[in-house]
Chain A
Amino acid sequence: MHEVSLIESLIALVEQERDKQLFARVTTIRLKVGALGPAEPEALSFCFDAVAAGTIAEGSRLEIEIIPGEGWCADCCTSVPLSERFGACPICAGGRVRMTGGDVLRLADLEVE
């Protein structure tokens, strides 16, 4: 499950911030996770507590904002919502849709003390 190593990378980012911004405790970690991206939000939440134990992130709350999938349909010449990365256009059912959003995996902000 690669969500474990993604959470480890996330905690490493938080530790880097602690070294720069000098805080003692993190109360909330907010992520932006794209619906079409490489990580499953439920799997991230599932392993978070176990991976965070003994680190600066122990006891903090993980909040995940899901960024919806979006694409550009070359036939309709418009942005369309996309539920699958290589899905068809929901308007014309054509296949010429290029994903334009919804694949992020980003640490947005931290609440710290």
Chain B
Amino acid sequence: MCTVCGCEAINVDFDAHAHHHAEERLITIERDILSKNNAYADANRRRLRRAGVFALNLLSSPGSGKTSLLVRTITALKARWPIVVIEGDQQTSNDAERIRQTGVSAIQINTGKGCHLDAHMVGHAMESLPLERGGLLFIENVGNLVCPAAFDLGEACKIVVLSVTEGEDKPLKYPDMFAAADLMLLNKSDLLPHLDFDIDACFAAALRVNPALQILTVSARSGDGLAAFYAWIAERVALGPA
């Protein structure tokens, strides 16, 4: 074996070895691996800005009540803003069907084996949606508290939904998602009387990973707290995309 580089060449004299390696070279790159996704996300963001559409990316673990929350929110807000929805799930178009029953346009993205939406998928989905000036685009990400945090989609803000049937230490166990979010909605508050969920410990955990996080307690079922959520959306829309 060659003692210079460990290659498998045998019986090479020095000149031959130098020749053998003449075409090897080192290329310095230093590029972020997510740069491709980020480039698509920037393109989405520019397109949304040109169209005058405000995009919100909803993230949570499966079963937190994202779709129910969205259905109720759309029903309440569709007279005020034109609304379109992108739904992400590994399989089925059940969620997009539920959203369409509210009367707004929804596109389902099935990620197959994929565990998150990426900016490229969202860019293509946007092509099939009527983007009206002054409207809202809700993107319901794949139910997963891990991967979607790393993938910018071009949205104006990220909303993480946590439900009181999950542990209050979720923000500490899955910090990236809570660190990336602008708003946390603590959902299913109607169940609180039946649970030992420590709401103060939950808020403390969330604020520890993200001191700037805003938090609202809501119930998609009873509607409690949703007025504050709608007010938050109105405030953010008025500020415009970041």
Residues of A within 8 A of B (CB): 1-2, 4-6, 9-10, 12-13, 17, 21, 23, 27, 31, 38-39, 85-86, 95, 104-113
Distance in angstroms between the alpha carbons of A17 and B30 in the assembled complex: 12
Determine which of A2, A23, A39, A106 lies in contact with B31 in the assembled complex, contact meaning CB atoms within 8 Å.
Answer: A106
Residues of B within 8 A of A105 (CB): 32-34
Distance in angstroms between the alpha carbons of A39 and B149 in the assembled complex: 12
Residues of B within 8 A of A23 (CB): 25, 27
Q: Is B175 an interface residue (CB 8 A)?
A: yes
Write 13 A-B pairs (CB below 8 A) sorted by A numbering: A1-B115, A2-B146, A2-B150, A9-B35, A9-B36, A17-B29, A85-B176, A86-B175, A105-B32, A105-B33, A105-B34, A111-B24, A113-B25
Determine which of B25, B28, B116 lies in contact with A108 in the assembled complex, contact meaning CB atoms within 8 Å.
Answer: B28
**1/0 per residue B48-90: CB within 8 Å of A?**
0000000000000000000000000000000000000000000
Write the chain B residue with the least CB distance to A44: B33
CB of A106 within 8 A of CB of B30, answer yes
Label chain A's interface by main secondary structure: mixed
Q: Is B44 an interface residue (CB 8 A)?
A: no
Write the chain A residue with the least CB distance to B210: A86
Distance in angstroms between the alpha carbons of A5 and B179 in the assembled complex: 22
CB of B26 within 8 A of CB of A38, answer no
Write the chain A residue with the least CB distance to B111: A5
Shortest CB distance B61–A (Å): 15
Interface size on B, residues (CB 8 A): 31
Residues of A within 8 A of B31 (CB): 13, 106-107
Determine which of B30, B118, B149, B151 lies in contact with A107 in the assembled complex, contact meaning CB atoms within 8 Å.
Answer: B30
**In the complex with contacts A2-B150, A38-B150, A86-B209, A106-B32 CB distance below 8 A:** yes
Determine which of B29, B34, B116 lies in contact with A109 in the assembled complex, contact meaning CB atoms within 8 Å.
Answer: B29
Q: Is B172 an interface residue (CB 8 A)?
A: yes
CB of A111 within 8 A of CB of B26, answer yes
Seed contacts A109-B27, A111-B27; 14 additional CB < 8 Å A-B pairs: A2-B115, A6-B33, A6-B34, A9-B36, A86-B172, A104-B32, A106-B30, A106-B32, A108-B28, A109-B29, A109-B30, A110-B29, A112-B25, A112-B27
Distance in angstroms between the alpha carbons of A78 and B115 in the assembled complex: 38
Q: Is B23 an interface residue (CB 8 A)?
A: yes
Determine which of A1, A13, A38, A104 lies in contact with B176 in the assembled complex, contact meaning CB atoms within 8 Å.
Answer: A38
